[in-house]
Amino acid sequence: MVFLQNVWWYLVLIGVMILIHELGHYWAARFFDVRIEAFSFGFGPRLFGFRRGETDFRFSAILFGGYVKMAGEQPGEEIGDDPRAFLSKPRWQRVIIAAAGPLINIVLAIALLAGLFMYSFPKLPTKHSPMIAYLSPDGAAAKAGIKEGDQILEIDGKVDPDWDDVQIKEIAAASKTIQVVVRRNGERLTIPVTPVLDEKRGGIGWLGWMEEADIEIAAVSPGKPAEQAGLKRGDIFVDVNGTKIRSTHKVNEAIRAAEGKPVTINYLRDGKPLSTTVAALKETVEGQERWMIGIALEPHVIMTQLSMVGAVRESVKQNMNNATLIYKFLEGIAERRMSPKSLEGPIRIAQLSGDAARAGAGPFFGLMAMVSLNLAIFNLLPIPILDGGVILMLLVEMIMRRDLSMRVKEAVVRVGFVFLMVIVVFVLYNDLSKVLPAG
């Protein structure tokens, strides 16, 4: 049942992406009066559809994408004196038509997040130049000499960063040394750090630190010690056995250190200070025994609604951050600092689609925004057969002021197709290796 749900929501997600992307090409081509022969969901043999005017709107056998077939689009295709053929149009118009698909995906990503933020925006009380509240003992930050209580003034050239800025720099700098400037006891220190490549977190850079923040209970497990002690979702920790709580790890450390003995938890509920005593139980999680009281923790967030202008501004900011991460990730792969194994293919996207849909409309639309942005950036890569490759060849021709030879164009298309098929095979194999049991 879950498998069928995942497939259904994947088809919904990818269907919207294909429709929006190809509509961008379609509308731009119509605007410049290019004759459109087919608008297809999927590739391969035609299954069914309808004809409207001169265009065949169809569903094809392989639902892994889609395309708009314009007259005279393919190298070697006879166009004669047809003024409405794609290759008969000025190069600048063809550039706009090729770019319209990815650009409308970017617009969709911005619109989806903006709509979500107008309804509900989780505002983290993140400050600029954040304080370090926790360091993993075996993390790269601790080994480099950074200490709890240090205030981050600059990271990899970014001055006065907030925690989002810090995470972007950390994630993108796997196996690459960057400079972190901190303030410690009034003294300004510059410390070189090298984020490690963390496969468990999806092949990204990891320093093993957390910012100072209020920590609240995200969920309480029924029948567990926390519920029996009266703790509820939304309670904000103040201290555990006298240890001030400013990160989730401090809660876990305090409970683990007690080894099942009762601990005193001071907390806030609706701003009112309360206290309780709770004793952890030893449970086996992923083959390891742990002392647990049955709670899930997260940084405290304030839910609010943004105005349209504020929502669009925040959406643009987050999409720019995400685009930067994608670019840095691709750069890391090219430099062989980061692993391509963290790439997600259709199988994993189907799982994520089902999970997001079951969690609610908000998570699903959030995933749709992320997939739309990824699709736009992927299509803008200068790879032959993709929109970015088409744009690159047109720009080369504009600089040369003449067409590339047909032999060159056909060779480029063949190479691009083979390269794209290699990517498809890799991401499918990568997905299967993640979902199938090892051994």
The CA–CA distances, whole Å, from 163 to 116, 142, 166, 206 equal 22, 18, 5, 14
Q: Residue 119 carries which side chain, given as an amino acid letter?
A: Y
CA–CA distance, 210 with 197 (Å, rounded to integer): 17
Whether pLDDT at 254 is above 70 = yes
Q: Please give the share of the chain, as a percent, with pLDDT higher than 90.
A: 36
Q: What confidence score (pLDDT) does residue 151 get?
A: 93
Q: What confidence score (pLDDT) does residue 79 get?
A: 66
**Range scoring the smallest mean pLDDT among 90-99, 350-359, 419-428:** 419-428
Q: What confidence score (pLDDT) does residue 45 get?
A: 86
Mean pLDDT of 15-20: 85
Token pair, residue 177, equals 């040394």
Same CATH fold, 215-299 and 132-211?
yes
Mean pLDDT of 123-141: 84
The beta strands (E) that lie in 99-150 are given as 121-123, 132-135
- How far is Cα of residue 349 from the mean position of the Cα atoms in its chain? 11
Question: Does 296 or 82 have the greater pLDDT score?
Answer: 296
Whether pLDDT at 439 is above 60 = no
The beta strands (E) that lie in 141-212 are given as 151-155, 158-159, 178-184, 187-193, 196-198, 204-206, 209-211
Domains of the chain, by residue range, sit at: 1-21+92-121+306-439, 132-211, 215-299
Strand partners for 152: 182
Q: What confidence score (pLDDT) does residue 100 get?
A: 95
Q: How many CB atoms lie within 10 A of CB 359?
A: 12
Q: What confidence score (pLDDT) does residue 90 get?
A: 92
Q: What confidence score (pLDDT) does residue 278 get?
A: 93
Whether pLDDT at 105 is above 80 = yes
Homologous superfamily assigned to 215-299: PDZ domain (2.30.42.10)
Give 177's pLDDT tier (boundaries 50, 70, 90).
very high
Whether pLDDT at 265 is above 90 = yes
Q: What confidence score (pLDDT) does residue 125 get?
A: 65
Q: How many CB atoms lie within 10 A of CB 356?
A: 20
Task: State the pTM of this model.
Answer: 0.80
Q: What confidence score (pLDDT) does residue 143 get?
A: 93
Nearest to 277 by CA among 289, 261, 294: 261
- pLDDT tens sequence across 184-196: 999 999 999 999 8
Mean pLDDT of 373-391: 88
What residues are labeled active site?
22
Structural contact between residues 205 and 198, judged by C-beta atoms closer than 8 angstroms: yes
Mean pLDDT of 242-262: 88
Homologous superfamily assigned to 132-211: PDZ domain (2.30.42.10)
The CA–CA distances, whole Å, from 426 to 46, 86, 204, 324, 345 equal 27, 33, 19, 24, 9
Tell me the pLDDT of the chain averaged across its residues: 86
At 276, which helix (H) or strand (E)? strand 272-278
Question: Does 22 or 338 have the greater pLDDT score?
Answer: 22
Q: Please give the share of the chain, as a percent, with pLDDT higher than 70.
A: 94
- pLDDT tens sequence across 204-248: 788 999 998 889 999 999 999 999 999 999 999 999 988 889 888
Whether pLDDT at 288 is above 60 = yes
Mean pLDDT of 61-76: 76
Q: What confidence score (pLDDT) does residue 260 get?
A: 86
Whether pLDDT at 342 is above 80 = no
CA–CA distance, 100 with 129 (Å, rounded to integer): 39
Q: How many CB atoms lie within 10 A of CB 425?
A: 11
Q: What confidence score (pLDDT) does residue 202 get?
A: 64
Token pair, residue 268, equals 């806030």
Q: What confidence score (pLDDT) does residue 78 get?
A: 66
Give 301's pLDDT tier (boundaries 50, 70, 90).
confident
Whether pLDDT at 347 is above 60 = yes
Q: What confidence score (pLDDT) does residue 406 get?
A: 77
